Structure 1
Amino acid sequence: MTLFVRVEPIKKMNRLLIDSNGIFIGEYEKSQQADIDRKIKEINAAETTLLSIYEKHGVFCVRWDGKKKSIRVKGIKVGSIPKEAWRPASWQK
């Protein structure tokens, strides 16, 4: 199964909206233009985790909490993006 990411501009940032089989399943971290490709790669690398969270808990959002990329449902942390899925930020290259 492949995830599809829609990019929605909001002021100086972008929302990354994730669909699976035409169904909205969640939102990834808000992103600057320079980081969109990297975050899409992270989404694809974490596909199994994201689909599992959606199946168990419903629509989610992923946010950086200072140490981890937390997956939340209705404001409650239900998981995190595995560190192996992370990609270097644009400013780290």
Structure 2
Amino acid sequence: MNRLLIESNGIFIGEYEKSQQADIDRKIEEINAAETTLLSIYEKHGVFHVRWDGKARKKSIRVKDIDRVKDIEVGSIPKAAWRAASWQK
């Protein structure tokens, strides 16, 4: 698995879904398509991570809560930014 670390102006702002090599280009496109959302989340909540929520079928944007015991959802990646997975092509 690969970690996709996101930077803005040289500052680490978050991590996108862990991915197989075959999905890296697609996820980079998703990051670019969701740039406004991701920057807004970082400005409001700080460093985030994006994970697939299979139950809710969405790409959840999460941050550590103050006591670092659990993550809390603060947003999601708009479906318009999603790209087809490598196994769907």
Structure 2: how far apart are the matches of 1:39 and 1:78?
20
- Unpaired stretches in structure 2, ≥5 consecutive residues: 65-71
Which sits farther off after the overlay, 34-43 or 59-68?
A: 59-68
1:8-47 counterparts in 2 under 5 A?
13-47=1-35
1:1-93 counterparts in 2 under 5 A?
13-66=1-54, 68-74=58-64, 76-93=72-89
Give the aligned length: 80
Which sits farther off after the overlay, 63-72 or 35-44?
A: 63-72
Q: Secondary structure at the match of 2:16?
A: strand
Higher RCO, Cα 8 Å, sep 6+: 2
Q: Secondary structure at the match of 1:53?
A: helix
- When normalised by structure 2's length, the TM-score is 0.89
Structure 2: how far apart are the matches of 1:44 and 1:30?
16
Alpha-carbon shift at residue 59 of structure 1 (Å): 0.1
- Unpaired stretches in structure 1, ≥5 consecutive residues: 1-12
Percent of residue pairs identical = 93
Alpha-carbon shift at residue 25 of structure 1 (Å): 0.1
